[in-house]
Amino acid sequence: MRTFSLLLLCVAIGNATATENEESKCCCTTYDMSVCLSNVDKKVDAEQSTTYQKALITSQQFGEKAIDDLKEAETQWLAYRDAECKAEYDRWGGGSGGPNALTMCKIRITRQRTVELKRRYHVH
């Protein structure tokens, strides 16, 4: 029974590790985390930008108003993301964890936006 329980624990840990986000693998010093998170942020931002460009192309079939609406939504989304992440940063009161909290927030919200665009505009 103990062997079986140990095996189940190993499987559970393996599954949890397989579903981790890249940023959860950033570790050690604040500087190391910052560099790692910055790389993840660039990758996530590039994916969101590509998805947005594809959504613009898809929007063409619905006319100029649909394209303009998507552009306006993207502008407003960027303002929201930046304000939300600034609020997370400000909670650190100037502490050394603030910049990494800001970057992690941007990663999280940008990933959410990418998923929304993919679903709404049927792009992959």
Per-residue pLDDT 10s for the chain (124 aa) are 444 333 333 433 443 343 468 888 888 898 999 999 999 999 999 999 999 999 999 999 999 999 999 999 999 999 999 999 999 999 999 898 999 999 999 999 999 999 999 999 999 8
The residue segments making up the domain with residue 87 are: 25-121
Three-point CA angle 107, 81, 78, nearest 5°: 110
Q: Is residue 117 part of a domain?
A: yes
Integer Cα distance of 25 and 33 in angstroms: 9
**What's the Rg (C-alpha) of the chain?**
19
Instruction: Determine, yes or no, domain membership for 82.
Output: yes
What pTM does this model have? 0.80
Q: Please give the Cα distance from 62 to 118 (Å, whole number).
A: 17
Amino acid at 12: A
pLDDT the model gives residue 23: 85
Residue 22's pLDDT is what? 85
- CA dist 98 and 105 (Å) reads 10
Residue 106 within a domain: yes
What integer pLDDT is reported at residue 26 of this predicted model? 87
Q: What pLDDT is recorded for position 110?
A: 98
The answer to whether position 17 is within a domain reads no
The contacts found for 31-34 with CB under 8 angstroms, 24 or more apart, are 33/100, 34/99, 34/100, 34/103
pLDDT in the model for residue 32: 92
| Distance, CA of 121 to CA of 50 (rounded, Å) | 13
In a domain, 13, yes or no: no
Question: In 19-97, which ranges are continuous DSSP H helix?
Answer: 30-59, 64-90
Q: Identify whether 3 is part of a domain.
A: no
Query: Does the residue 41 lie in any domain?
Result: yes
Domain count for the chain: 1
| Confidence at residue 20, expressed as pLDDT on a 0 to 100 scale | 62
Tell me, what CATH number does 96's domain have? 1.20.1270.180
**Does 14 reside within a domain?**
no
